[in-house]
Structure 1
Amino acid sequence: MRPRYSWDELIPVEETYAAAEFLVSTWYLISRADPDNFTFRKHEPKLTELLAMNLKRLIANSGLTGFWQNEDQEPYPDEQNQIRRIKNDIKYLSNASSIRIELTFEFKKLTQSSLSTYRSDKGMRRFVDGNYAKKMPLAVMVGIIKDDPTVIADKLYKSLSIPAIRSELQMVHDSKGNYIRRPSDVLRDIAEFDTEHRRPSDKAPKNGTTTIAHILVTCPKQSYA
């Protein structure tokens, strides 16, 4: 049986929540102010670049003591021990508490027909068998949507409930037997739900698993045409 830890033992809970809340509120603040630049047609890197720029610009008003990174590159050895580099969308980092926080947000456009991409090695699996958020107990997937968030959330929930997909994503259940925690444990009222995943020993935090919180953000409606 894997070790059980409380969230207070793994992360600075209040700062983690505040960082996620600030990211989401900043998305809506700037996307509503500038809908033409936040249309769903825009490439994900452009959207995350604009968001990161504004997270850095507005952080003084957030109460956060850490800092934001966008598209930082991290070296890691591959199977042939050659050095490769990976890019993370947006990270929040801080050493303000006794526990360091390195919260990675991976953004992915999400529709009813792109659920498999969201779950793939270009999405969730970056936090499972990939090199994103190594040794971190919590990470965040952010689905950028243009459809009804309730419909998309339910479709994603159902897809992650399929046994074959649970196995592929190394999902583990909680003490109640739930593979998906709804509402989210740490990011309640921000994330739609959480999933927990086993990771290889060289990528796993001390509790052995990484929990992914799943957040949905919408593009301005007037930009859909």
Structure 2
Amino acid sequence: MSGGLSWGGVFPTDESAIATKLLVEAWAQLTSSAGTAFRSSLSEPKLTDLLCEHLKDISEATGRLTGRWGQENPFGKIDAAAGKRITSYRTDIEYFSNRSTPTLKLVYEFKKIDGNNPRTLTKYWGADGMGRFIDGDYAIKQPVVLMAGIVISPKAACVNTLKATLASNRCEKLNWRSAARIIEPSQGFHEAHFDTEHLRPTDKQPPVGYVRICHLFLDFPS
């Protein structure tokens, strides 16, 4: 991303770029440490929990970030008159900062994917993956979000298989902004492999009129 604000002045690009770069570096530190237990055999929630805690430890000293990292943050809607909760959900990892105007709320949704297992790819682009940023309640009115694929098969082949799936008829109902579904290289982050753009329901739509999902992929040393 370029410096300052983008998307009509609604998104602080500098801090988001630093945060995403730090997240990728933190992942590399955890996976490359000698004798590490941070391996693909761990569940997705355990991996994101460890990653987020490591980000909290290194964020200010290494990344010079003064915002807040959080994971599994509860959100939802309530009916105040009835005194009850209507919806409830939790995000994987997010970075929040009010240092800029507007404030930065960057949400990362993690999914384990295996290029040899189509079911994992469906989870990635389906209702509990990308769908959370399109029709779901994640990152409402936020113009930029990230999907982070935790790759447990050879990365290049897995990413290519996923891109082919996104371009296929199986994914035609993902409210694509235009006919060109895959934007490559990413226009959002150097660490991301590609972007996709989607329309959201009016009450969830960002001021720019669509959400940009930046897709980055993290793997483990062979």
TM-score, normalised relative to structure 1: 0.87
Q: Give the deviation of 1:7 after TM superposition.
A: 2.9
Give the secondary structure class of the aligned counterpart of 1:214.
strand
Partners in 1 of 2:37 and 2:141 — Cα distance?
Answer: 35
Match of 1:182 in 2: 184
Check whether the contact 1:35–1:220 (CA below 8 A) recurs between aligned residues: no
What is the RMSD of the two structures over their aligned residues, measured on CA atoms?
A: 2.0
Structure 1: give runs of 5+ residues left out of the alignment. none
Match of 2:195 in 1: 194
Match of 2:16 in 1: 16
Question: Equivalent residues in 2 for 1:61-210 (5 A)?
Answer: 61-76=62-77, 82-112=85-115, 113=117, 114-165=120-171, 167-173=172-178, 178-188=180-190, 190-210=191-211
The aligned length equals: 211
Partners in 1 of 2:109 and 2:35 — Cα distance?
Answer: 21
TM-score, normalised relative to structure 2: 0.89
- Describe the superposition over 1:21-64 as per-residue Cα deviations: whole angstroms up to 9, x where unpaired: 10011011122116642221211000000001000011122111
Check whether the contact 2:12–2:103 (CA below 8 A) recurs between aligned residues: yes
Identity of aligned residues (%): 34
Check whether the contact 1:38–1:220 (CA below 8 A) recurs between aligned residues: no
- Describe the superposition over 1:134-162 as per-residue Cα deviations: whole angstroms up to 9, x where unpaired: 11001100000122221111111111111
Structure 2: give runs of 5+ residues left out of the alignment. none
Partners in 2 of 1:195 and 1:146 — Cα distance?
Answer: 22
Aligned pair in 2 of structure 1 residues 97, 130: CA closer, same or farther (>3 Å)?
A: same
Aligned pair in 2 of structure 1 residues 20, 8: CA closer, same or farther (>3 Å)?
A: farther
